[in-house]
Amino acid sequence: MSQLAVFSSPGILSELSIHFSGDYDQIISLPTQHQDRFNQILGSLSSLKLRNAYIDLFSVSFTGLVELRLERLELGSPLMFERLLRAISSALNLQYLGLANVSSERNPDMNSLDNSGLSVSFPKLKTVYLSGIWFSDLEMIVKSFVSGNEEWIIHIQEVSLYRNVPGIYPEATHEELASLLQGLNVVTLIIEGRSDGSWIDPAGLSRILTALPTITTLELNSWTFFREHWEALVRVQSPIEAENIKFPLLREFYAHKARIFDNNGIHTVISSHNIQKLRLTGLLCTEEGGIGKLITDEDDIATRLASNIADFSLTESRYHPCEALEKLYNVL
């Protein structure tokens, strides 16, 4: 980085991508005599991507930044997260903002943080991508954001239901999560389940979807589907209440590594939406604790879906949701 600061000049470099492997982010620091020049170079970039690489961005004024992607960064205290958001807010030309597994830790005596004075706005923003964000950090991001016409792609994992207070980890309710996200123009919602079952019950899933009627693409990974889970995805179509339906009308549906106990429920879901594309992989199960049978093209569930949806296919059994996400959204 010191060589970059010495031999480059602001405006010459347009894109910078720094990736480190490993579980912990690497701190990148420069000698004091190079820091100002390096900040100027950062400020003139059009694209900045950092993975497992921590750079002090707090003193950077982004004049030409169009794309910012940050992944796997531990910022320490919520105040550091707030400072990061304030620094990013200088990027008035920003069009894409991606934050994946960016976190801060709260003190046990500070379950909530008053960031009422924090307000960030990006007049040219087109897309916001959030993945693996703790509820406490998600709360800071959403409440400080002045929404415009941007579209949101949100990847919810189990940590999204907890506040990052070491040793305590207070849990938020599904209602709190739904209320927090309500009002955002979320077009794609991805929910990561667990191999031992879904951590959101059917009522919670329905509540979250009802809060986000703008969703057109839904992806459920490692999900267990009983009849009540399918029912939570059905868009009720009552002629009397058609204009007042507060539930997404899905066009794309992905269910990867699914464990399906009710084979018929998915067809009811499909008929209640306008689904044009469906990807499925998983197991047909008959009893809890059973291994289940891998879904193939010969199974009735697959043949029926193929006859009703033009763009339907079974994904490979070795499919890994996180790897596919990186390809689909080009997330670092």
Q: What is the pLDDT of residues 145-172, one digit of tens each?
A: 988 899 999 999 999 999 998 888 899 9
pLDDT, mean over the chain: 86
- The tally of domains found in the chain comes to 2
Last residue of a domain, one of 151, 172, 193: 172
Strand partners, 191: 156, 220
Domain that holds residue 306: 180-332
Dump pLDDT digits (tens) for 50-75: 998 888 888 889 989 999 999 999 88
- Report whether 138 contacts 160 (CB < 8 A): yes
Average pLDDT value for residue range 309-325: 69
By three-state DSSP, how is residue 49 classified?
strand
Report whether pLDDT(114) > 70: no
Both tokens of 306, joined, read 């193929």
Is there a single domain that holds both residue 187 and residue 134?
no
- Report whether 134 contacts 111 (CB < 8 A): no
What does the pLDDT read at residue 290?
65
Is there a single domain that holds both residue 325 and residue 280?
yes
CA distances from 235 to 238, 247, 249, 276 (A): 9, 6, 7, 16
Residues 283 and 298: their CA atoms lie apart, in Å, by 13
In the DSSP assignment, the letter for residue 161 is G
Q: C-alpha angle with apex 74: 71 to 80, nearest 5 degrees?
A: 110
Is there a single domain that holds both residue 269 and residue 148?
no
Is there a single domain that holds both residue 194 and residue 260?
yes
pLDDT confidence bin for 124, thresholds 50/70/90: very high
Closest CA to 258 of 304, 287, 231, 295: 295
Last residue of a domain, one of 136, 152, 172: 172
CATH code, domain carrying 249:
3.80.10
Average pLDDT value for residue range 27-39: 70
What does the pLDDT read at residue 2?
45
Is there a single domain that holds both residue 63 and residue 151?
yes
The reply to whether the predicted model has a pTM over 0.85 is yes
Is there a single domain that holds both residue 27 and residue 159?
yes
Is there a single domain that holds both residue 156 and residue 10?
yes
Residues 116 and 205: their CA atoms lie apart, in Å, by 29
Is there a single domain that holds both residue 11 and residue 81?
yes
Report whether pLDDT(11) > 80: no
CA distances from 99 to 117, 133, 135, 138, 251 (A): 22, 8, 14, 10, 25
Average pLDDT value for residue range 242-247: 71
Is there a single domain that holds both residue 168 and residue 246?
no
Is there a single domain that holds both residue 197 and residue 148?
no
CA distances from 67 to 14, 49, 139 (A): 11, 8, 23
Report whether pLDDT(320) > 80: no
Last residue of a domain, one of 146, 172, 198: 172
Report whether pLDDT(206) > 80: yes
Is there a single domain that holds both residue 230 and residue 297?
yes
Report whether pLDDT(189) > 60: yes
What does the pLDDT read at residue 236?
85
By three-state DSSP, how is residue 127 classified?
strand
Is there a single domain that holds both residue 49 and residue 162?
yes
What does the pLDDT read at residue 198?
79
